Structure 1
Amino acid sequence: MAASVTRVFVSHLAGLPVFDPGGDQVGRVRDLVAMLRVGRRPPRLLGMVVEVLSRRRIFLPMTRVTGIESGQIVTTGVLNVRRFEQRPTERLVLGELLDRRVQLVDSEEGATVLDVSIRRLPARRDWEIDKVFVRRGRGGALRRKGETLTVEWSAVTGFSLEEDSQSAESLVATFERLRPVDVANALHHLSPKRRAEVAAALDDDRLADVLEELPEDDQVEILGKLKEERAADVLEAMDPDDAADLLSELPEEDKERLLALMRPDEAADVRRLLSYEERTAGGLMTTEPIVLRPDATIADALARVRQQDLSPALAAQVYVCRPPEETPTGRYLGTIHFQRLLRDPPFTLVGSMVDSDLPPLAPDTPLRAVTSYLAAYNMVAAPVVDESGSLLGAVTVDDVLDHLLPDDWRETDFEESEHG
């Protein structure tokens, strides 16, 4: 979009970077703020909710937007860093107007809002919402989806009514380009009702990734509003250590009921983690590191390291063990860092190149000792081995950081205290 373009659909603005005049990024667009007017007058667009680099959400007035250009927002550079607080007369465009059920004035037919467009008024720096992109009818499994059309704001009614059964389809679509931590941040700032709607609309894997980034209170709230079967599916999709941490926050009866609904192998991993003290290597570890038999090749190892769903810390090294390869494994033989895998021919057997000098951690190793171990050996992950010599899992540096930071670090990160 060139700066001269005066109309844009708001879905195109979600997540766009915001730059100052010098070209430095100051944040990203998370929503837009509008004020409804009496009658059928188009709402005035007041500004944007911008998440600055410190994760604080601030208000950027439209009068300070100098350009909506290709893939970015340009401002005057003058920003008020006070945290944004929504007023009763204000509406969040992405969070409250999209997906709303409205009525077409001419036909009195129901429709769903998919998007709205904003335009800059001629010879002024003011903006307003002028058009609404809707889908006629309710759709559903037994009938074809209605046609879509763009109408003037005055051609629909229903925006001033309270939410009823507002779907989250379009809002979820705006999250597709965001990382899980950014989606979690957005969810944290929604109302409980809207948060539950969006969580219900996310697929299991995506919701699992997002839950792992939310404060514990939000995790428990969202999980508690899911049907139990769905909650069990989401717990299965989470990393076992994160699922165990979440389940440990629930009443014993609820925890056991959800564990019983999970697949036996997934539940077994989580139960094993719950059996260890929280701030020990056993309580911190993940039970799904990369495990290879000694007769596997470097080519096999690199294929495992390339798996997209692995975190960088887990992909940093592989663990060589005797069968079985699922944790608890057979006898643990040693570790190979991925850099070493890049130095030797692909047909080399991993059993011939393991580092067996690096001592593993016992499952009861306290957090302080785990931290010292990672620092002393310059590692991003460490093997956890029991008395019989079986690999139980691996502790990664992100697991350690989660427990070194204050218990409410996610909450304070989202809310961002006044002194940063």
Structure 2
Amino acid sequence: MKFTLSALATTAIVGLTAGMGQAQTSLLQPTPDMICGGVGEAGQWMGGTPEASDIATATDPLTLTGLPIALEGNTVGIFSLSSAMDVRVEAQPAGGGDSVIELYDDGGTLVLTDDDSGGGWASRAETQLQPGNYCLLARGYAGGDLVTDMRVGRLEHETITAGLAGGFFGDDDSYFVGIDACTPETEATPLGNGPLDAQLAEGGGVSVANTISGVPYYRFTLASPQAISITAENPQADPYIYFFDGTGALMAENDDYQSLNSRINFTAPLPAGDYCIGMRALGNPNLPVTVSVTGYDAAAALAELYDRGDAAPPMDGSYPIIDLGLLPGRSVRDAQISGQRATWYVFEVDQHGAIVIDAVEVTDSDPLIILFNDLGQEIAFNDDSGGTLNSQITARVQAGRYLLAVRQYSDNYQGIIRIATERFVPAP
């Protein structure tokens, strides 16, 4: 059976047939709707054009000013890197607004997020990026409206945010924004009585609960090399964790690993020695946060990746996947999706062409969808398509099997999502 292209999908999948060579060539150019898994669909190039938006070659930082963000909305700036380097991303809200920034790579994977590291209610983060296209998204905290400036630049470029007073320069001259480093002189609460090795071997690890305002640092010791996981849990406090070695060097940091909780996994054993956990709250610092140090469990960590849609599960029956069989020309189904735990579907395509997948709110939902091939390689990702909270993916496909993850943007949503698929094949 063959299908003609709908008006909705024509622009997205033009060029599928060999007879449309000119249109097919145009798809190779990076238009915003193709960048960052669809995040860049409503975005604009930070420098005005793709050529002028390369941070590696820009003389000055790239800035978008006076950007209005409506309730539950966002704005996106697109930039690129022609070589790997450290980059600073910022959002400076006006008039008492509270910004949140998210940085996505070209495949739509979230690289980082920040709320208040710019000082006050401004957002700021610094990280090393590889060559490619990136999308800087700014939104209001808790979906609020605001007007903001956004800037992307190299570390030597002038900033538009003040940063936090706790910032410092590290040994590599990179500026760290967040909290003071946990050095041997820093006052910190000990975890456990002596080295944690025995408690880690027993499987329970160690866990304590305190407010971040009362206990911002914890210190512990490993007597032998150990692979560990560190978690900080209480979404209302929105904890951000930093991990330091015994000298005060920052080894890792994390925010929003799962919902607004945080986690750092060390999959390779850490050397024996002293370590320190530092925290700050992006939410309420006076609420108790449960901090745990446990042995790293590879199987459990892999299951969590499947649950979140960050990796595709194997199709061997060991993980629940709903089999849709051969995908028809059009299908519609509703699913109750609870929070960020993904519901997985597998379907088959019997010839090359294109598919359009929509995930639409029915009740209490902010859908997010991710498409993988049967090898577990991510093909497409989308959240918030067309200025709405709904999601849409348009992708070229070959004959074969595909996996689709459907989940909510956050655990605040527990409703019904309508999942619609349409198949298209080239005209003869």
- Bigger relative contact order, structure 1 or 2, given CA contacts below 8 A and separation 6+? 2
Higher helix share: 1
TM range (shorter): under 0.3
Which structure is larger by alpha-carbon Rg, 1 or 2? 1
